[in-house]
């Protein structure tokens, strides 16, 4: 999977967001925009979370 980091994602100016290609080099390719966090706590332990911001067709 190919991923690229954005230093300034719309609506999240201070967050580091990423996009990953799903089905690269094909007419049916998609992109997933995501970021790490915010982490959650479960049973007293911190759990790492990946938040999906958007899923869109690859231009």
Q: What is the DSSP string of 1-49?
A: --EEEESSBTTBTTS-EEEEEESTTSTT-EEEEEEE---EEETTEEE--
What range defines the domain where residue 34 resides?
Answer: 3-57
CA atoms within a 13 Å half-sphere pointing along the CA-CB vector of 24: 6
Determine the pLDDT at residue 1: 67
How many domains is the chain built from? 1
Low-confidence ranges of the chain (pLDDT < 50): none
Determine the pLDDT at residue 15: 85
Determine the pLDDT at residue 23: 81
pTM score: 0.79
Determine the pLDDT at residue 40: 96
Distance CA 55, CA 44 (A): 32
> Within its chain, how far is the Cα of 15 from the centroid?
11
Burial of residue 21 (number of CB atoms within 10 Å: 0-12, 13-18, 19+): middle
């Amino acid at each position: 999977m190919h991923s690229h980091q954005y230093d300034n994602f719309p609506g999240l100016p201070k967050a580091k967001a990423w996009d990953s290609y799903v089905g690269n080099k094909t007419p049916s390719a998609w992109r997933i925009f995501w970021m790490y966090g915010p982490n959650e706590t479960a049973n007293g332990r911190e759990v790492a979370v990946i938040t999906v911001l958007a899923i869109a067709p690859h231009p």
